[in-house]
Amino acid sequence: MASARRTSNFPGRRPGSRGQEKEEIWKPMLDNISSGKRLPEKSLLVLGGTPETQREFLESVATDPANNRRPPDRGRKAPIANQFALGYTYQDVLDTDHEDILARLSLYLLANPSPSFTPLIKPYLNPRTLPHMLVVILLDWNHPWLWIRQLRDWIRVLRSLILSLDDASKEVLEENIVTLQDKGRTMGGSEGSSALENVKVPLGLGEWDEPLGIPLCVVCQNADKIEALERERGWKEEEFDFILQYLRTILLKHGASLVYTMPSAPGSLQTLIHSTLGIKSLLKQKQLKHNVTDRDRVLVPPNWDSWAKIRILRDGFDVEGVSQKWSVDIDIPRHMKPLMNGQPAADGETQANSTQTVEVQGESPSATSIYEDTIRNPETDFPLSALHSKQPNGIEVSSKDAQDFLVEQLSVLDVLRREDENDAKVKAARKDVEPTYRTWSDDVSGVVEEHIGPVQFNMGGIQVNADEMVKRLQDREANRANEPETPMTPPPNAQDPNKMDNDKLMSFFSGLINKGTTSSANSPRGG
């Protein structure tokens, strides 16, 4: 009772008012702090490439274009899960001083445009994420002949996903289209005068013909391979200009941007992505500057290009034809349309519808076929698959039976043996008919003897010329054969010991001569 009386003596104080004041003071303060610490969330949908090239893209996005250095990692580095199906990682976008975090960037990675994987993306396309999302399609300069086909497949995937969204998401996409079309289209530009800031530039021909509702950026990686294409495949400026004109014409229809990058020089990739997502530095405003002259550092910002600028690059390019045919190429095939109802088509139906689509497009050349006829795929010009074509039995390479192979080789050896025998007969006949005929070995022997001189050796301290000794023995034998026979001539079967000795000596000296002609190093020379 006494404590109750003491408490009631404080003027204006009622029981329980202290707790209410604490709640009224701290709750607004905590709410303000939490809302101030809440980071803007941005999403990046990366399509195409491989797990390796996707990692290179993530490194380029995190690299500061001013000094080509990656900002220091704070704490544990976010893992990258992009080996199977839909991958995911995140990055904290830091300010120029690397102190303040400007936004949290969530990256969804998908490498295969198969309709089986695309439903995985649908849950991330909702009214909350769509206004803060950017789609990036990765292309690789190692395979530029595949670019238009890859772009066509990914645009079809995006269109099928957009058609499968609910009405609330489609309304957000419609609002995005209006915002994107008006972004940066003032006469004064980003640095224009105040008098022209509110003057909008109207849409040009072929611009925003096929809007997606999500900003699109095409990144052509490994631009350093351009020199290899020029050196190894003989590409000229005509091929590189044709590729650039083709890409710009297609991307103009979607209001997309284009940038060439390489691992050593990401260029303005980070600035382009941040400006498209609305991420602005608190310290320094970075400006995008177009570049269509340096073939390995191309940058085409959104809402900058036009048909007139594309024609300036090289005369003779059919901008209207490519633009019209591309609208036909990106029509959603029938086997992808059931995706809107969440019911994938059966395999047989997919093949039939794909064949029907090819037949319809086969009536006139499509935008994809025109590009591929100009930028040839070396693998189709020199197909490696022909070397490994499968046989009806399922075996890729069929080998001959061992015995059959040996029989064929035996016949080849017989042919070579007969040719050698014929050559030997021809040489023998020429030697009998032409007394002056000398074989190649005789000529070589004469050349060697002329080069090294006469063959000499030391016999009992006497220097003997082997050639002269052999000649004397031959003369002696000739004289002996010319002498008339006497009654005391032994029978033919009896062998003359002197003749045998002469034959041995002749063969001995002939062996010395042959040995000397083959190796001058082993033959003694007279001093």
Q: Residue 64: inside a domain, yes or no?
A: yes
Per-residue pLDDT of the chain (527 residues; tens, 9 = 90+): 444 444 444 334 444 445 455 556 776 766 665 544 567 889 999 999 998 999 999 998 888 766 666 665 555 667 777 778 889 998 888 877 667 788 889 999 999 998 888 888 999 999 999 999 999 999 999 999 999 999 999 999 999 999 999 999 999 999 999 999 988 776 555 444 455 566 677 888 889 999 999 999 999 999 999 999 999 888 999 999 999 999 999 999 999 999 999 988 888 898 899 999 988 877 777 778 899 999 889 999 999 999 999 999 999 999 999 999 999 999 988 766 644 444 444 444 444 444 344 434 446 889 999 999 999 888 776 544 444 445 555 555 567 788 888 888 888 999 998 999 988 888 787 766 665 555 555 555 555 555 556 666 666 667 767 777 777 777 877 777 766 655 555 555 555 555 566 777 777 777 766 665 555 544 444 44
Where in the sequence is the domain holding 405, given as residue range(s)? 400-437
Instruction: Pick the closest to residue 318 from 220, 391, 246 (CA basis).
Output: 246
Write out the DSSP string of 350-397.
HHHHHHHHHHHHTTS--HHHHHHHHS--HHHHS-GGGGGPPPTTS-SS
- In a domain, residue 10? The reply is no
Same domain? For 423 and 464 the reply is no
Do 350 and 466 lie in one domain? The reply is no
| 164 domain residue, yes or no | yes
Tell me, yes or no, whether 355 and 500 share the same domain: no
Question: Residue 209 belongs to a domain with what CATH number?
Answer: 3.40.50.300
Token pair, residue 487, equals 């009654």
Whether 93 and 104 have beta carbons less than 8 Å apart is answered as yes
User: Angle CA(21)–CA(25)–CA(27) in degrees, nearest 5?
Assistant: 115
In a domain, 325, yes or no: yes
Rounded CA separation 153/117 (Å): 13
Would you say residue 360 lies in a domain? Answer: yes
Inside any domain, residue 153: yes
Reading the block at residue 471, the tokens are: 């000649």
Separation CA 242–CA 371 (nearest Å): 9
Shared domain for 301 and 426, answered yes or no, is no
170 shares a domain with 40: yes
Please, are residues 95 and 88 in contact by the beta-carbon 8 Å criterion?
A: no
- Contacts of residue 158, Cβ cutoff 8 Å, sequence gap at least 6: 135, 212, 214
Residue 121 lies in a domain: yes
One domain for residues 126 and 240: yes
DSSP for 452-484 reads H---EEEETTEEEEHHHHHHHHHHHHHHHHHSP
Residue 13 lies in a domain: no
Per the structure, the count of domains in the chain is: 3
Residue-wise pLDDT for 269-327, tens only, equals: 988 999 999 888 777 777 788 999 998 899 999 999 999 999 999 999 999 999 999 99
